[in-house]
Structure 1
Amino acid sequence: MTLSEPQQMDMFWYMLLARRLDERAWVLHRQGKIAFHISGIGQEAAQIGAAFALRKGEDWVVPYYRDLALMLYLGYTPREFMLSLMGKREEPSSGGRQMPSHWSLRRANVVSHSAPVATQTPHAVGIALAIKMRREDKVVLTTIGEGATSQGEWYEAVNWAAIHRLPVIFMVENNRYAISEPVEKQMAVEGAAAKACGLGLEGIAVDGTDALAVYDAVARAVEKARRGEGPTLIEARMYRLTPHSSDDDDRSYRSREEVEAHKRRDPLLRMRQHLEAQGWLSAERLQAMEAEIKALVDTAVNEATQAPYPAPEEAAGPVFCTEVSHA
């Protein structure tokens, strides 16, 4: 499944935008301007590869907290990201009451997850069941870290989807560490894709630093789901280049030499080199993209800084629905 030059350039643009926003978030945290940040640096290629395989605005997405690049492609704006980091009232996920990077975007069919890991997978499966019952031509993508595949909710969700052949794609973003725990302490198999055989669905491992390889794998899984042939588990293998979060000191569990070695396989660098080799990305074009993105990031920070915080009484609601219609 081949993507055109403009599509591949768009892939790189969204990856670059996500990286520069992510880097600015770290700066804001160190300046004391935000309280918390959880990063997706090193995982942009897998997220964008998966995103391009979807019908934006039609298919459903139930993401996890590192999915900034995925969210940007789906229509989440830099301003909305900064509003979330700063806990401002206009932030679309929760009106400034949820932790940052707990994404929700009604206009893009993105459903929020909660802080306990793996809880979003049963939600995704429930949406997929509804799609099947309504005979809709839609699929669900849900993402998760490899550490969360140790949770019972994940097994229950994947098992249910496999039994009922639901149109859902489970993408595991295996960044090698569940906070401080390496993969070998999380599972007794080589990777999450190997868990699929015991649950009755196809499991595929793919290089998560290669956006085009991830796109190909997810696109095939999406078409399979649309044909009514059931779910797929895709494990995208990459490396988390930053600490787990702004509260983490990763020097306590991995060496600087290890991190530096993986920086040489940075997915952003890999995509840039691919586009340069194709003759599509010149130094001048890259410089123009960087300038455009810097302006977007600067504007987002300035506007979010000036935006109002929620009023204290807004914390009490709306937190539940009093009227439910099953019509």
Structure 2
Amino acid sequence: MILVTGGAGFIGANFVLDWLAHHDEPVLNLDKLTYAGNLHNLDSLADDARHVFVHGDIGDRPLLEHLLAEHQPRAVVNFAAESHVDRSIHGPEDFIQTNVVGAFRLLEAVRQYWSALPATERGVFRFLHVSTDEVYGTLAPKAPAFTEAHNYEPNSPYSASKAASDHLVRAWHHTYGLPVLTTNCSNNYGPYHFPEKLIPLVIVNALAGKPLPIYGDGRQVRDWLYVRDHCSAIRRVLEAGKAGETYNVGGWNEQANIDIVRLICGLLDELRPRADGQSYSAQITHVQDRPGHDRRYAIDARKIERELGWKPQETFESGIAKTVQWYLEHPEWVAQVQSGAYREWLAKQYEAA
């Protein structure tokens, strides 16, 4: 069995689904079910005995110790994190509690469990920590992409909290010998993405006839990774990654935000035309840029390809087409996640139109 934390969120749920599509090895799924955690993401596993869900917090040390002792996982994959930059600006404390304190308590519980394992099991055990390219800071337009050797220069409360957790993971390896792996990924997109992030927000707002809010001039550049490609990368790192190593996972798809929005509008124009015949691009609205907005991220994913033989299968064009189609086919999921709290958040974040 493997233990997956945060396995009801966007990337975590996709990973659990992907894992059980490729393995019969069971998954113990621990998730706090905050606003972005959604058990409906895992409805297809309702009758699958290989999936064991536990509602809980990685900051709950006694719960962690109980689960580890009872289920004896051979690996832990840590997705559990607060992950939205805008929310971290408005309320950074939750990010410190989950991403730093929670990561520390998880590491300590796992270290205690791992230390008591028989030598053979201790040797094959792995703790895989899923992190972000945002820990590296921002890039100039023509600067080389982030490699694993790039200095950490986080610029938001979110990225600072993830950088702290990365450092803890590294320290627990070098100080205690805990066999850790770290992945730093670029921006993910795909099915089950909570609609506060750019791509799902644009799809959902466009279909609802609402403004499509673009920060500043919209020329911020990100490297976009289809979530199922990310899942395959994590499986590969868990399978063959070298303990103590970091692997950057990217999609080789640098895109400016405004270009992504226009591409989505074009796909929707074709697949679900507006009743008035206009393009969805007429709904684009520029809003005040957020504080400390990093201008560009880009991942150099050559290490994971060279050492582990992994590279993404989707182009941005193929991945975004699959993503738009998924949202068109799952309006009930969108309606379910758009709670009152979600609507209040959007009003707060984009009121300065």
TM class by smaller structure: 0.3 to 0.5
More strand by share: 2
The structure, 1 or 2, with the larger RCO (C-alpha pairs under 8 Å, 6+ apart) is 1
Structure-1-length-normalised TM-score: 0.41
TM-score by length of 2: 0.38
